[in-house]
Structure 1
Amino acid sequence: MEHRPANTFEHSVRIGWGDCDPAKIAYTGRLPWFALEAINAWWEDKFDGDGWFQMEFDRNVNTPFVRLEMDFVSPVTPRHRLICHVWPVKLGETSIAFRVDGDQDGKLCFSTRTVSVFIQADEFRKMPPPGDMRRIIEEYIS
């Protein structure tokens, strides 16, 4: 698994009562949701507010997921903010892989690795990332 760089993007998630099951921990299905929300926040942060919605409708670029891996380490609870550390780990000719580590109170709760493919949204056709996007993404890959 990739080593977490010191300069990862951090996205804070408030875990609410409705995110939890009777055991008082976050539902398992919510954890990928939190990770994907954090990746969208990374896009918004790096591309002047352009997250997935703006990428699709303003840039005609989409990045559907083709792989999701998640390791569960410690329960997520409403007691502390969930800090999702997000960084791209690989940029291929038409794909991008992200890692998201979810921490609470300084303790790793989960680690996620995703792979997405760049597509031209209106034709749902694989494409390389646009040049400006590639340049920015490459700055964050260690």
Structure 2
Amino acid sequence: MQGRAFESHKLIRFQHCDPAGIVFYPQYFVLFHELIEDWFNDGLGIKYGDFIAKQRLGVPTVRIECDFVAPSTIGETLALRLIVRRAGRSSIALSLSAYAGESVRVRTEQVIVLFSLESRNAIPIPPELRTQIDNFVVGEQDVAR
């Protein structure tokens, strides 16, 4: 089955920018984490707040690689896209990107891991969560780079 991308739109605000009026690069990581939270809430149908506070689970980043292609400026609205490349036993490989119109601004390859906040260890992805994640798995040939 062909997966799909999850997309969220974010307005670039003063808080995201350096004195030159362009996004200060660490802010992209904040925006991409917000995208992952939006994906849980709206894409996977899991309340991210409950996931952390009640289920005592998290999805920390264990690997990240990023290309900053072009600057984004205050007042722009970026389309942030999330694609699942693969889901392992406890890890999820993501392709995240930010666009202004058709112009790519940032591309990130990120691996997150399902993590117990109680034991502080990676845990296997439960079957019901894996089923939801699989809806977003897109083959390598389908991921635009």
Q: Please tell me the TM-score bracket, short chain as reference.
A: 0.7 to 0.9
> Matches of 1:49 and 1:131 in 2, distance apart?
14
Please provide the CA RMSD for this pair: 1.7
**3-state DSSP of counterpart to 2:7:** strand
TM-score (norm 1): 0.87
- The equivalent residue for 1:57 is 53
| Letter in structure 2 aligned against 1:7 | R
Q: Which runs of 5+ in 2 are unaligned?
A: 139-145
Alignment of 1:1-142 (within 5 A): 7-51=4-48, 53-142=49-138
**3-state DSSP of counterpart to 1:59:** coil
| Letter in structure 2 aligned against 1:31 | Y
Q: Which runs of 5+ in 1 are unaligned?
A: none
Alignment length (residue pairs): 137
| Letter in structure 1 aligned against 2:22 | I
Distance 1:141-1:47 versus aligned 2 partners, 3 A rule: closer
TM-score (norm 2): 0.86
**3-state DSSP of counterpart to 1:98:** strand
> Matches of 1:105 and 1:119 in 2, distance apart?
35
| Letter in structure 2 aligned against 1:131 | P
Q: Cα offset for 1:22? A: 2.0
